[in-house]
Amino acid sequence: MQTEDYSDVIVYFNNQYVPLRDAHVNILTHALHYGTGVFDGIRGYWDERQEQLFLVRPMEHFRRWKANSGILRIGIAPDASELCGIVVELIRRNHFQSHIYVRPLAYKCAARIGVNPDNRDAFAVVVVPFGDYLDSRHGLHAGVVSWRRIEDNAIPGRAKICGSYVNSALAGDEARRNGFDEAIFLTEEGHVAEGASCNIFLVRAGKLVTPPGSENILEGITRNCIMELARNELHLEVIERPVDRSVLYLADEIFFTGTAVEVGPVTQVDHRQVGSGAIGPVAAELRFLYIEATRGHLSAYRHWLLPAYEPAPAGGEPEPALAIAGDEDLWGV
């Protein structure tokens, strides 16, 4: 939990750079009442040795955010590389030399009563210093919650819509009150979906298994990174398939993935020991590889990263989008 006072932090709001203390919305804002906003979350890691702050897959995050906003018919004018430029500018203006979290938020901004949305849209980008979200050093205790994961035909969970996070807040609250570190959602059909704020992987019979996009999950960018690292570096078969609840109790390993959670090994699920009860070798290796890759230590994954403090090219503004690839389609068909 981050408890710092961020009021002096410079944020991007109403197309301007302003201190957070001056970034206000009207109490009648449509998104505040009806949840009609779409957000994303991006991490940046400060690497002391290189004196560099690396943003992790910002192009993919901004592409996802823009596409998801389209589901609510919220328009965001800047393209993904211009949005990367805003984040780089915020990091530089705030002189951040620590791990950070980027929160872009697009929302229906009309200040009036009435649920039907109109075409008044706004967006903001906030960057704050950020440490661990969950302390998973010794493994997490996870519990299946009574709340079911929202259905795509009710509110699409893959869209990161503000209102749909009531589902996650209820699940996370129940899990914590029951003594767990994180919730596990089942779908209405009873299949394992994901955590309240993260995707889930299981190791079974030497294979990595994770629920597919059709199980109402958020198609995580960290999930994609982990699948790539598992295939390329650990030569593991990665299978996307529906997972029954009881398979949680038979898995050799379980771990969560997400921008905030990173790689969070689960050592107990529903008061049952997972595997040996210690952090498993696959989770440990993938966590290590993910940390190395996101700090810019693995050249094979350098294209995931945008360095915020790269010197500007001579005679012009920095062009951060040129520094990263990211044209591939992460989510397939």
Q: Which residues bind ligand PLP (CB under 6 A)?
A: 41, 168, 194, 197-199, 218, 220-223, 257-259
110 versus 227: smaller Cβ distance to ligand PLP = 227
56 versus 321: smaller Cβ distance to ligand PLP = 56
Minimal distance in Å, beta carbon 256 to ligand PLP? Answer: 8
88 versus 159: smaller Cβ distance to ligand PLP = 159
110 versus 266: smaller Cβ distance to ligand PLP = 266
76 versus 193: smaller Cβ distance to ligand PLP = 193
Nearest to 258 by CA among 185, 198, 181, 195: 198
57 versus 110: smaller Cβ distance to ligand PLP = 57
Minimal distance in Å, beta carbon 19 to ligand PLP? Answer: 26
Contact 239, 207 (CB under 8 A): yes
What tokens does 94 get?
Answer: 């705030």
Return the bridge partners of 223, or none: none
3-state helix, strand, coil in the chain (%, to 5): 30, 30, 40
195 versus 318: smaller Cβ distance to ligand PLP = 195
Which residue has the CB atom at the shortest distance from ligand PLP?
A: 220
Q: Which amino acid is at 313?
A: P
**Active site (annotated) includes residue 66:** no
Going by the DSSP 8-state scheme, the letter that residue 270 receives in this structure is: T
Going by the DSSP 8-state scheme, the letter that residue 33 receives in this structure is: H
Give CB contacts under 8 A, 24+ apart, made by 180-183: 180/141, 180/142, 180/143, 181/134, 181/136, 181/140, 181/141, 181/142, 182/134, 182/140, 182/142, 182/143, 182/256, 182/261, 182/264, 182/266, 183/142, 183/143, 183/144, 183/145, 183/147
**CB contact burial 144-172 (16+ within 10 A = b; e otherwise):** bbebbbbeeeebbbbbbbbbbbebbeebb
The catalytically annotated residue of 66, 108, 160, 207 is 160
- DSSP structure string for 129-184: E---SS--TT-EEEEEEEEEPPPTTTS-GGG-BGGGHHHHHHHHHHHHHTT-SEEE
Contact 184, 151 (CB under 8 A): no
Minimal distance in Å, beta carbon 80 to ligand PLP? Answer: 15
Minimal distance in Å, beta carbon 257 to ligand PLP? Answer: 6
Contact 265, 279 (CB under 8 A): yes
Catalytically active residues, by annotation:
160
